[in-house]
Amino acid sequence: MGSPVKRRKQFPGATAYFDRHRKRRWRFRKGGFSAELGSDYGSEDFVRRYEDAVNGHKTRGLIGADRTKPYSVSQLVALWYRSPEFLDLAPSTQKVYRGIVEKFREEHGDKPVRLMRRRHVQTILAEKAETPTAANNLRKRLIQSMDFAITLDWRGDNPARATKPFRVGGDGFHTWDEDELAQFFKTHKPGTLAHTAVTLMLYTGAARVDAVKLGPKNVRNGKIEYRRQKTQRSGGVLVSVPIHPDLAEVLDKLPKDRPFLATQKGTIRSAGGLGNLMQRWTEDAKLPQCSAHGLRKACARRLAEAGATAHEIGAVTGHKTLALVQRYTEAAGREGMTDSAIEKLIARPNGERNLANPPKRFVKSETNPKQGKDNL
């Protein structure tokens, strides 16, 4: 007898998972593309969805709005993915947005857009109350998609805008402080990739996705110049940062024919790869709360504490708006500002008061109130 023939999988690429209600569902995954197949394995609806998913994979994820219900959430999402507003986003941002929107689409794709109300959005967001950041991210995507629905004349208002975001404790990614930086550099000495990477991001404010691409070709007239990948679709914000002496000392010792954070083969390291290394390096330094993005915030914090304005900080970090930068400047050096404020109060003699513009309640009228009444 010959060896047993291995049974071929009936639906290659289909895998099972359990949703938040512990119900078993199926999805198709292949090469970064995924699509929901429902919960009834092998049914006619399952087979139809599977065939659509396979075709969708062959066309690299071009979602056909003609396969969805007219004016449904699913059709709106399909059209939004093809819109200039969405296509102008960086590929990495598109991927993040899709990950958020597709989960919403799985549960509500067949529902008509025109019937969505504020209370519906509130209920959907309330289900994510235990993860407020995720809820707020979904809210932002719903606002964008409903704004797009207005441009299509599918509805005249945006119910998502009428909701309020969840309060989130903290400021997102942890900002490295000076003690943490010293602890990291004590563990990772000059000459190591870890030391080079952290020094580069700390003194340029570059995000991971930009830091891995920086090299000698970006050095011009004593500055590191590059265009942020996040803003490339809209022309890219040009960042030009003078090279700090501490950074110059590190860069001078690196090869001149490859990126600063190159792999052993001399090629550009992936942003994800750098992120994995950063996690390992911070754990080695006993700093699990620290991350690459936190270095970008630390750069802004240092600039703010040095007295840089919000516009100056934004020029270094490449922010297009100053809202986030303003948070850095407001938070920076609060301890030092309170010290100086109390010192000024202590320096003033006890009881001294500036009466150049005294409050009205402290001004004594020379007119007798009773006399004033008699004169009326």
Question: Is the CB of residue 223 less than 8 Å from the CB of residue 315?
Answer: no
What was the pLDDT predicted at 325? 80
* Residues with Cβ within 8 Å of residue 243, at least 6 apart in sequence: 203, 219, 222, 223, 224, 251
Tens of pLDDT along 282-299?
A: 999 999 999 998 999 999
Residue 266 belongs to a domain = yes
Report residues of the chain scoring pLDDT below 70: 1-9, 20-21, 31-32, 55-68, 169-172, 232-236, 327-376
Q: State the pTM of this model.
A: 0.57
Alpha helix ranges (H) inside 59-163: 73-81, 84-87, 91-108, 118-126, 132-151
Residue for token digits 């509805």? 155
Helix (H, G, I), strand (E, B) or coil at 223: strand
Q: Are residues 214 and 252 in the same domain?
A: yes
Q: What is the CATH number of the domain that holds 102?
A: 1.10.150.130
211 lies in some domain: yes
Task: Look at residues 107, 163, 99 and name the one whose alpha carbon lies nearest to residue 134.
Answer: 99
Q: Count of residues for the chain? A: 376
Same domain, 324 and 189: yes
Say whether both 184 and 329 belong to one domain.
yes
Pair of tokens at residue 319: 């922010």
Report yes or no: 258 and 217 within 8 Å, Cβ to Cβ: no
> Please, are residues 180 and 290 in contact by the beta-carbon 8 Å criterion?
yes
Whether 371 is covered by a domain: the verdict is no
Give the start-end residues of each E strand in 160-297: 219-220, 223-227, 238-242
Range of the domain at 39: 13-54
In a domain, 201, yes or no: yes
* Same domain membership, residue 279 and residue 224: yes
CA atoms of 125 and 122, how far apart (whole Å)? 5
**Residue 203 confidence (pLDDT):** 95
The pair phi, psi for residue 66, each rounded to 5°, is -75, -10
pLDDT at residue 337 in the model = 59
pLDDT for res 285? 95
Q: Examine the domain organization and report whether 191 and 330 are in the same domain.
A: yes
* CA angle centred on 138, ends 132 and 141, rounded to 5°: 145
- The count of domains in the chain is 3
Residues 239, 320, single domain; the answer is: yes
